[in-house]
Amino acid sequence: MSSAHQKYLEWSPGRIMNWGLTVGKQTSKLLQTMMERKPHPEMGYRACLGIMRAYEKAKESGMGEEQLESISSYALQFHQFRLKQIKALISPPPKEESKESLSLFAAHENLRGSDYYAS
């Protein structure tokens, strides 16, 4: 193996599944499914380690294990096995602009309004 891939040698499928069980059964099943979808389990290590890092960051930011477990369940149910898809499930939805920030533009003297273009 190349030096970039040698760090994956310290991980085994069992070790990855055990880490998944620290979050919950669905997370462990998600990691297992990701490895089974590859011709060799070692090929799925990178994606599994990416999910593990994303889940750890989510825990650090205050997300609970129940939420992470429900994300894993959703990913299994809807076949969301790509790291990018799972990260999208973890990230919070974008915030909507508040009405206060929009009202700042409503009464500005340099705004022309629809009457300007009516001629």
9 vs 56, higher pLDDT: 56
8 Å CB contact between 52 and 18 = no
User: What does the pLDDT average to over 59-70?
Assistant: 94
**CA dist 88 → 27, 54, 58, 82 (Å):** 16, 10, 12, 10
- pLDDT tens for 17-61 read 899 999 999 999 999 999 899 888 778 888 899 999 999 999 999
Positive/negative CA dihedral, 109, 110, 115, 119:
positive
Domain boundaries, the chain: 6-93
Does the reported pTM lie above 0.85? no
Task: Report CA torsion sign: 77, 82, 87, 92.
Answer: negative
Contact between 83 and 31 under an 8 Å Cβ cutoff? The reply is no
The residue ranges of DSSP E strands in 28-107, in sequence order, are none
Dihedrals phi, psi of 40, to nearest 5 degrees:
-130, 135
**pLDDT recorded at residue 79:** 94
Residues 26, 73: contact at Cβ < 8 Å? yes
